[in-house]
């Protein structure tokens, strides 16, 4: 997908940007209120294989252009989706991980609420990105909504961002929430015609209505992407290279995904 090339370009500055709205996550795992919403699609990962009528795994170079995204690093079992990362080569060569999009079936829609319950293994040299990407692949004109990016080895920060504007790099505004993201949390993006709001366990991370940058709100259908990013990737301080301290396996765990109108 073309988002690999795009993400490589903007990540060069991502590590240097602080969130415009910054806070700290609480200890309680709560979910946003969905009583007034219509559930339109979900995956609870109760089987033992990936539902490829919904999900399309990547089989390509990862965002750093060196490591590999491969379907072999994606599995379902024990009631969860697992996206694994293997390899400690500091150059990134030969290291491998997984990425996939819910871009089949009912995966693309304009506006709504996306929720993902997930936890991220700590480990230097691998980061996590969960985002909405435009069905058109037109970036940044049709936007990008980053529900969470957690790049630090300790998994103690979550960055949520809105991208909009024109080529080559568009514009970006973000919020950051400190916390322990090796534990289970519910991540959500509420995308409406007038605003985009991100939350973790019901706590707001970023809301375009409080931004001074007047962010552009996407108008066209988008779908969910989950990527485990191998390092080194981006500016210094973003996703560093792995080393001997990196665990033999670093996993992104996803309990469930739900989409609402």
User: Are 22 and 175 a contacting pair, CB within 8 Å?
Assistant: yes
- Averaged pLDDT for residues 234-252: 95
Taking CB atoms within 8 Å and a gap of at least 24, the contacts of 165-172 are 165/140, 165/141, 165/216, 166/140, 166/141, 167/140, 167/141, 168/9, 169/9, 169/10, 169/13, 169/140, 170/10, 170/139, 170/140, 171/140, 171/213, 171/215, 171/216, 172/10, 172/17
| Parent domain of 164 | 3-260
End-to-end CA distance of the chain: 25
pLDDT band at 28 (very low <50, low <70, confident <90, very high): low
pLDDT band at 235 (very low <50, low <70, confident <90, very high): confident
pLDDT band at 149 (very low <50, low <70, confident <90, very high): very high
3-class SS string, the chain: CCHHHHHHHHHHHHCCCCCCEEEECCCCCCCCCCCCCCEEEEECCCCCCCCCCCCEECCEECCCCCCEECHHHEEEECCEEEEEEECCCCCCCCCEECEEEECCCCCCECCEEEEEEEEECCCCCEEEEEEEEECCCCCCCCCEEEEEEECCCCCCEEEEEEEECCCCCCEEEEEEEECCCCCCEEEEEEEECCEEEEEECCEEEEEHHHCCCCCCCCCCCEEEEEEEEECCECCCCCECCCCCCCCCCEEEEEEEEEEEC
How big is the CA angle at 69 (ends 63 and 71), to the nearest 5 degrees? 150
pLDDT of residue 248: 98
pLDDT of residue 17: 42
pLDDT band at 32 (very low <50, low <70, confident <90, very high): confident
Length of the chain measured in residues: 261
pLDDT band at 34 (very low <50, low <70, confident <90, very high): confident
User: Are 85 and 123 a contacting pair, CB within 8 Å?
Assistant: yes
Is the dihedral angle over the CA atoms 155, 158, 164, 165 positive or is it negative? negative
pLDDT band at 98 (very low <50, low <70, confident <90, very high): very high
Tell whether the model's pLDDT for residue 90 goes beyond 60: yes
pTM of the model: 0.90
pLDDT of residue 4: 43
- Averaged pLDDT for residues 26-37: 71
What is the domain-level CATH number for residue 62? Answer: 2.60.120.200
Task: State the total domains in the chain.
Answer: 1
């Amino acid at each position: 997908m073309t988002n690999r090339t795009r993400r490589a370009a903007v990540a060069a500055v991502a590590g240097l940007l602080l969130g415009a709205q910054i806070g700290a996550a609480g200890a309680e795992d709560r979910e946003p209120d969905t009583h007034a919403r219509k559930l339109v699609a979900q995956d609870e990962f109760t089987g033992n294989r990936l539902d490829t009528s919904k999900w399309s795994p990547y089989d390509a170079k990862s965002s750093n252009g060196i490591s590999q995204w491969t379907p072999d690093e994606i599995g379902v079992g024990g009631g969860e989706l697992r996206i694994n990362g293997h390899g400690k080569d500091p150059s990134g060569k030969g290291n491998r991980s997984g990425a996939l999009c819910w871009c089949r079936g009912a995966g693309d829609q304009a506006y709504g609420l996306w929720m993902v319950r997930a936890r991220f293994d700590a480990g230097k040299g691998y980061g996590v990105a969960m985002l909405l990407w435009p069905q058109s692949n037109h970036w940044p004109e049709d936007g990008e909504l980053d529900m969470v990016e957690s790049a630090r080895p300790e998994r103690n920060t979550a960055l949520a961002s809105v991208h909009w504007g024109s080529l080559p790099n568009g514009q970006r505004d973000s919020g950051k929430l400190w916390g322990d993201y090796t534990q289970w949390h519910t991540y959500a993006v509420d995308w409406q015609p007038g605003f985009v709001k991100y939350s973790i366990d019901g706590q707001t991370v970023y809301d375009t209505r409080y931004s001074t940058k007047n962010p552009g709100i996407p108008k066209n259908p988008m779908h969910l992407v989950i990527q485990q990013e191998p390092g080194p990737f981006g500016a210094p301080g973003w996703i560093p290279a792995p080393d001997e301290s990196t665990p033999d396996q670093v996993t992104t765990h996803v309990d469930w995904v739900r989409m609402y109108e």
